[in-house]
Amino acid sequence: MKTTLSTLHKMKQDGQKIAMLTCYDASFASLLSDAGVDVLLIGDSLGNVIQGKSNTLAVTMEQMIYHTECVARGAKDALVLADMSFASFQLSPQQAFENAARLMAAGAEMVKLEGGMVMAETIDFLVQRGIPVCEHIGFQPQSVNAYGGYKVQGKSATEAEVLKRDALALQAAGAAMILMEMVPAHVAKTVTESLAIPTIGIGAGPDCDGQVLVLHDMLGVYPGKKARFVRNFMHGANSIQSAVESYVKAVKSGAFPADEHCY
């Protein structure tokens, strides 16, 4: 059965975990869909794992559109979610709409933007024009230089309150889903419980409504530094298919992430 936005919202209501992985091509899209992955994220992480760059900032809209087209061709039942690249949406709601529309035309069924409450007007503008939005809060890779590196967000009581405030404002603006990255588990739990829309965690603890990993991290093939929240599911697996199935099973059962993957 095709996964839709309504499916994801019902999964939250029913307490069923959502399994998401990044994906960049048609072959993996087909395999991941067959293995039971609910959402395929065409992440601007392709800058790291496909292009070999140190961050995501140089990824272009043209590259995001190309990879979205590839994934959409193989996605089968999985929902297709595409990142908006750096500087493709921050200028104005109109700029964001023009670029989001290009991703939707390429096969995306939802787009993902980074940013907190400052993006509320843009989210409302997109949603009012038929474009579902997933908002990315906590650590935001496109802001890595502003953070001074890859750092956990929401550690202090003040930061945690800002994170929750942002999440509620984004939901009110019409965001259909919230992704939280590198956030203390207890903070992500509080945010998740405060929202009616699903939350997806990456380094945000087990109490989010779903989990996402970068495909190349999950398969243990990315040569770069491994983040604390990464688990190599190829260990003990006899094929990529079985590794992905193990990931899906671990997410659905709540076995992943474990304590060692959390902040």
Domain residue ranges in the chain? 5-261
The terminus-to-terminus CA distance of the chain in angstroms comes to 35
Mean pLDDT over 11-21 rounds to 98
Mean pLDDT computed over every residue of the chain: 97
Task: Give the pLDDT confidence of 208-218 residue by residue, as tens digits.
Answer: 999 999 999 99
pLDDT band at 165 (very low <50, low <70, confident <90, very high): very high
CA distances 44 to 19, 52, 212, 226, Å, are 19, 12, 14, 17
Question: Residue 225 — pLDDT band, cuts 50, 70, 90?
Answer: confident
Calculate what percentage of the chain has a pLDDT beyond 90: 99
pLDDT at 191: 98
Prediction pTM value: 0.98
- Catalytically annotated residues: 181
Q: Is a pLDDT exceeding 90 seen at residue 224? A: no
pLDDT at res. 103? 98
74-119 pLDDT, tens digit per residue, is: 999 999 999 999 999 999 999 999 999 999 999 999 999 999 999 9
Q: Span 120-130, mean pLDDT?
A: 98
Average pLDDT value for residue range 174-185: 98
What digits encode the pLDDT tens for the residues 22-77? 999 999 999 999 999 999 999 999 999 999 999 999 999 999 999 999 999 999 99
Taking every pair of Cα atoms in the chain, the longest distance, rounded to a whole number of angstroms, is 48
Query: Class assignment of domain 5-261?
Result: alpha beta
Spatial CB neighbours of 91, under 8 Å, sequence gap ≥ 6 = none
Mean of pLDDT values over 225-242: 96
β-bridge partners, 79: 39
The C-alpha atoms of residue 167 and residue 145 are separated, in whole angstroms, by 23
